[in-house]
Chains A and B, each alone.
Chain A
Amino acid sequence: MADKKLQIAIYWGAACGGCDVSILDTNEFILDVDALCDVRLWPLAADGKYKDVEAMADGELDVTIMHGAVRNSENEHMAKLLRQKSKIFVAYGSCAYMGGIPGLANLVPREEIFARAYLDNPSIEPGNRTVPLSETTVNGHDLEIPKFYDRVYKLDQVVDVDYYVPGCPPQPDQCKAAILALVGALTGTAEAPPKGAVVGAFDRALCDDCQRTKTEKKIKRFYRPWQIMQDPDTCLMEQGILCAGSATRSGCGVRCPNSGIPCRGCYGPAPNVLDQGAKLLSAVSSIIDSKDPQEIDQILEGLPDFTSFANRYGVPASLLQRSHRQ
């Protein structure tokens, strides 16, 4: 072990906190990290200050692990600042890697979000017409709240990212593996992964690790998860239940299918897949047993709202990135 401890920062953008919990979920390993590293900024457990970060020399931090997407100027500012101060910058979790669930907001107009929250809603104060404003004056006091970007960005649309750790959140053992890989690279005990690599996951699709039996069976109808008692041994797709396993990178331990629940793709696109949704689209169409356009439409009625499955964890990472409705 090198004499000098590694300097690390763990920070969040627009995140839910689940990624922090996934780091906590490595349990005793946290103490190892503490022994190995100086945690210079981690809102969870350490006492770093923003101005300390500003005062750091460029590259003073060995690693920044950032989770959460970018949806306002502060997220962007901190991402850029930490990038500048860090040798290695890691996008941790689906939000950072692909935009995550909050990225679904890229499919709806911002004004509708406001209307739903403040005007048209069963528990709003009767007759309310007030909506929040970014600048207001109350009793002569000027008040501001930040303006938010119109859409959600994944981290590498804003800063240069060296490595990605997928998952919503990453599973703790993979979190451990990813941290160990980085520590190995920094201390010279292991070869550094190539820039842009996905760490803490495997180079194969989830289906490759799923134990359920696949028989190339085709289907005449789709079932929504509540419409059928699934058989625990057969591929969910072949039972007519949409499962994103073939479009998704393996790494989670096949958690959802092993619990009788279809995969929704939180580990991001399988290796060499440019757009997870397009890949899932191909997989879904190839399982349909019909050559008749009308019958195909009928079968697809059992699968409403395909779009929200296509890029469930990464509308910002899809080729189209957001709705283009004028």
Chain B
Amino acid sequence: MTRKISIDPITRLEGHGKIEIFLDDSGAVEDTFFQIPELRGFERFVVGRPIEELPRIVTRICGVCPASHHMASAKAVDGCFGGEVAPLAHKLRDMYYQAHFIHSHIAHFYALAAPDFVLGPDADPTIRNVLGVVHKVGLEIGGAVIASRGKAQEIQRIIGGRNTQDIWCLPGGVAKGLKPEELEQIKPWVDELFDFTQFSIQLFKDVVLANPTYVELIVNGPYTLDVHNMGLVDESNAPNFYDGKVRVVDFEGKEICKYAPDEYADFVAEHVEEWSYLKFPYLKKRGWKGFVEGIDSSIYCATPLARLNVADHMATPKAQEAFEEMFATLGGHPCRALLANHWARLVEMVQNAETLKTYCADPEITGDQFRVIPEKVTGEGVGIVEAMRGTLTHHYTCDANAICTSANLIVGTTNNNGPIQMVTKKVAQSLIKPGVEPDQGILNMIEMAFRAFDPCYSCATHSLPGQMPLEVRVHRGGDVTHHFKRQC
């Protein structure tokens, strides 16, 4: 009799996700399905809207990374007007975006990753959360975490007028510049944030790397996939979060392709399955080959680790040091150990803080040429940025009156839909075996699979907590023999 295990996280990706695991007679995993049961419809209901309104509508796709959508949208809209943008505006947007990354990475690292590592993967679930972390590491550090994230948010508010649900970008630039007194207010915070990134790296070393069990879990656990990597890079192949070309590198380090934003449709396509509302992007030139690993696979990841995997080096010195140390510890570049995403996030944060410092020292940053008035409507634009959880593409067209006629979005998490499907199955197969009864511990390990793979996935599903809320049902011949249900 086939048994079915449903893992139904009671959360949402503008909705929610669930996992169905089917066991054969012997109790081995026959198949698994990671299903995303909701569809947003943004691509349809932005049609007919004035194109300049889109950057302040699409932010509601995700309130945890609204600035990513705001920036990608703004760039796509710039494109619809011929692409001319005040150079200062690019700087200001990039500066703003670094702060957004820091806010988000702090939240993810401390609320998501830290509970598993600071408290342990098999800690009591009732304390395995961000408050548990605060209690363990001490209120002082907890306070520093809260304060640092708050400052990163405040920097955005000062530069762009609002943080969550951004309003600031207009075609050709931004709505307001940065005043000298505002810059002075920001500067000391940037220094503090930089120090905090150094502290976080040290914490990771002390807590995670000093523990051989964790290192073993990261490097040799079941959490690896032989699929490719995607990320945005600058001309020298250093990671860039706001601008550049998308580079795809295979898991052995060889470049597969590199494309400019407006070429995305030649390189990426999306496969549809009847059983999920979320599409499965793949490398178009290779064709859809199914959920398969290997050097010929058309599946790729777009995560913090993937970004570092496609990069030849970091853009700033301290980040470069952290980058080198990380890959040396993990056995070389690129790296397939998905749990290393947590570390990669911290390395990125160092670059974010250093870039912010550079902008703070830029004498032009307080200038007043922050917007140009577009002269013509050219009708089409693609904007690509790195969202915290992966490459984010917005593609719009508009009519001569600059009214949106179509929109296509490939959001960060969607890129990772295929790999998540695959790693879930892989981990389930390695853990659930004939004679092994699925229990809470196994549930958590499976959960770690996709959290480890892409903790930002939880962000996409609006779940900042240490664990996704799950529901597991074990069916045996129509009877429910086990029932676990956990809200966070």
Contacts and interface: CB of A to CB of B under 8 A. Distances in A.
Query: Are chains A and B native binding partners rather than an unrelated pairing?
Result: yes
Interface residues of A, number: 85
Interface in B458-488: 459, 462-465, 469, 471, 485-488
B300 interface: no
A305 B272 CA distance: 33
Interface stretch (B6-14, B234-242, B322-330, B425-433): B6-14
Given A20-B464, A305-B49, A117 B60 contact: no
B107 interface: yes
A259 interface: yes
A132 B272 contact: yes
A123 interface: yes
B378 interface: no
A131 B272 contact: yes
B56 interface: yes
Given A16-B61, A125-B269, A224 B50 contact: yes
A18 B44 contact: no
A105 interface: yes
A259 B168 contact: yes
Contact of B44 (A113, A133, A136): A113
Interface in A241-291: 255-256, 258-261, 264, 266
A45 B131 contact: yes
Contacts of B68: none
Contacts of B49: 305, 308
A12 interface: yes
A100 B410 CA distance: 23
A229 interface: yes
A72 B15 contact: yes
B114 interface: no
Contacts of B128: 47
Interface of A: 12, 14-22, 24-25, 27-28, 30-31, 34, 41-53, 72, 74, 100-102, 104-105, 107-108, 110, 112-114, 116-118, 121-126, 128, 130-133, 136, 138-141, 143, 145-146, 148, 168-169, 224-229, 255-256, 258-261, 264, 266, 304-305, 308
Given A46-B129, A304-B50, 17 more contacts: A16-B14, A16-B62, A21-B164, A44-B464, A101-B57, A102-B41, A102-B60, A116-B43, A118-B279, A123-B265, A138-B33, A141-B20, A143-B35, A145-B275, A145-B277, A229-B371, A261-B161
Please name the 9 residue pairs, one residue from A and one from B, whose CB atoms are nearest each other, closest first: A18-B63, A259-B161, A16-B63, A113-B41, A101-B60, A17-B462, A145-B37, A260-B175, A17-B63
Interface of B: 2, 4, 10-12, 14-16, 20, 22, 30-31, 33, 35-41, 43-45, 47-50, 52-53, 56-57, 59-64, 66, 81, 107, 111, 125-131, 143, 146-147, 149-150, 153, 160-165, 167-168, 170-172, 175-176, 264-265, 268-277, 279, 281, 288, 371, 373-374, 393, 395, 401-403, 406, 408, 410, 459, 462-465, 469, 471, 485-488
